[in-house]
Structure 1
Amino acid sequence: MQHSHSLSVVVPVYNEEANLRPLMEQIRAALTPLGREWEAVFVDDGSTDQSLAVLRELADADPRVRYLAFVANRGQSAAFVAGFAAARNDLVVTMDADLQNDPADIPALLGLFEREGLDMACGLRAKRRDTFVKRISSKFGNAVRTRLTGKTVTDTGCSLKIMRADMARRMPPFKGMHRFFPNLMLWQGARVAEMPVNHRPRNAGVSKYGTLDRAVQGGMDLLGVRWLRSRFIAYQIKEQG
């Protein structure tokens, strides 16, 4: 059976003015040959640089580019939630604005999604281009997250993912939820798989969160998600009339 899913690429943005134009060029180059309906939805998370001005420019130049701008910084999870709500297509693609995710991986990830009949396809950063401390802390965090919250994917920290938009919108919104997207999808009964993707070094801008900040906040989030898992409501409709 031939699928023809349409795509909404949702990208949180916080002070990434230097990366937005090349990112949009790469998204366009990756998606246009697919012959699918697609859009890019950028969510400006209260940037203090010229990111919003660049987004206005990109939207004026291409009707497939849309943007939302928060009044103030609300965090990556809030930006994803707003982007999911605004997405017009049946699949959402999540990625970062810092160019470390490679849009050229989207077609292969979409191929896995459709070939396997998935609800979510996740990128796996086989060769991470981060500092040693960041790699070790991420690996430790993934192990603890799996231990406390149940089955998940190997690399929950990779932002490059494709998922059904309707299921993405059913995930309970909370600060830090973006670290648990695979868990929140699996709890809904989603079929999830992952594949290796490219991971590139950051060439412009700076990381917005320190390792200690991530560790402290991540620990608090884990306790909350563990509780949420015990109270999560999931059901399937057998029949209706």
Structure 2
Amino acid sequence: MSYQLTIVIPVYNEADNLLRVEKECVEFFKNASVISKVLFVNDGSTDKSQQLIEEICTRNKDFTFISFKENRGLSAAIKAGFDYTSTPLVGYIDADLQTSPEDFNKLLEYSKDYHLVTGVRADRKDSFVKNMSSKIANGIRRTFTNDGMDDTGCPLKIIHTDYAKRIPMFKGLHRFLPAMILLQNGKIIQIPVQHFPRIAGKANFGLWNRLLGPLMDCFAYLWMKKKYINYTLAKKSNSLGE
């Protein structure tokens, strides 16, 4: 079996959601347009998440995991997922399942022509405050990055793994994945996907995370953009391989 897509799922105290994650991912695997697997990244959970992850991986050959010694944050979890992915494509979805694994098939339709395909949440099922703070934050990021994306925080993405591995991650950079692909002269596109209310667990982001934090991260991104190194090989010796 040759896997083509690794779905990275960061986990931080999501024990109440993990069995549902297992069920929905298994259903997706049955109808996925490419052979897919899951990589859980346990970001130092203090509940029963690790126990459940190991049970899920024991009974499902298409589920794998890595686990941090301590909580390091969402950007670190996503980077670790990229680092430990060996398939041509890497996907990302949150464990709260406010987006659906089945919508990966929508993104996969565009993955041959685009280096990053991101969802844009249609008819968002969040509170007024969360929706407005997210809308403002996305507007600020668009102004700084000119990436043209309406919903960079949507937790449903597919990226060409070679591009994902070249992203120099820092805390907060998960909000700038489309912009970081553009720095590599990659092509990006956004596709409408389903959105659902959180039905279990607790959100790990407050107003600071959604609005003020991202504003500060924009200045970090501008510094990164100014210093970013990008190159394209003209030729290499055959002994280097792929």
Unaligned runs of 5+ in 1: none
CA distance in 1, matches of 2:227, 2:198: 39
Aligned residues: 236
Q: Secondary structure at the match of 2:17?
A: helix
**Alpha-carbon distance in structure 1 between the residues aligned to 2:190 and 2:212:** 27
Contact 1:120–1:191 under 8 Å retained in 2: yes
Distance 1:78 1:166 in 2: 18
Change (3 A) 1:35 1:161: closer
- Structure 2 match to 1:176: 172
Local SS of the residue matching 1:97: coil
Asked if 1 retains the 8 angstrom alpha-carbon contact of 2:134 and 2:211, the reply is no
Deviation at 1:213, TM superposition (A): 3.5
Q: SS of the residue aligned with 1:113?
A: coil
Amino acid at match of 1:220: M
**Aligned pair 1:89/2:87, yes or no?**
yes
Question: Where does structure 2 lack aligned partners over 5 or more consecutive residues?
Answer: 238-242
1:203 to 191, 195, 199: 199
CA drift at 1:144: 0.8
Shift of 1:35: 6.1
Equivalent of 2:208 in 212, 215, 222: 212
Match of 1:221 among 203, 217, 220: 217
The letter for the 1-side match of 2:169 is: P
Question: 1:152, 1:182 within 8 Å by CA — same for their partners in 2?
Answer: no
Alignment equivalent of 1:150, drawn from 146, 149, 161: 146
- 1:9-55 CA deviation, whole Å, 9 max, x = no partner? 00100011111111121112112223633210000111111010000
Alignment partner of 2:225: what SS? helix
Aligned Cα root-mean-square deviation (Å): 1.5
Shift >4 Å, 4+ stretches: none
Deviation per CA, 1:190-213, whole angstroms, max 9, x where unpaired? 111111000100000111111124
Tell me how far apart the structure 2 counterparts of residues 181 and 230 of structure 1 sit (CA, whole Å).
16
Is 1:164 the counterpart of 2:151? The answer is: no
- Superimposed CA distance per residue, residues 71-105 of structure 1 (whole angstroms, 9 cap, x where no aligned partner): 11000000011111111211001010001011110
- Contact in 2 for aligned 1:152/1:183 (Cα 8 Å): no
Counterpart residue number, 1:77: 75
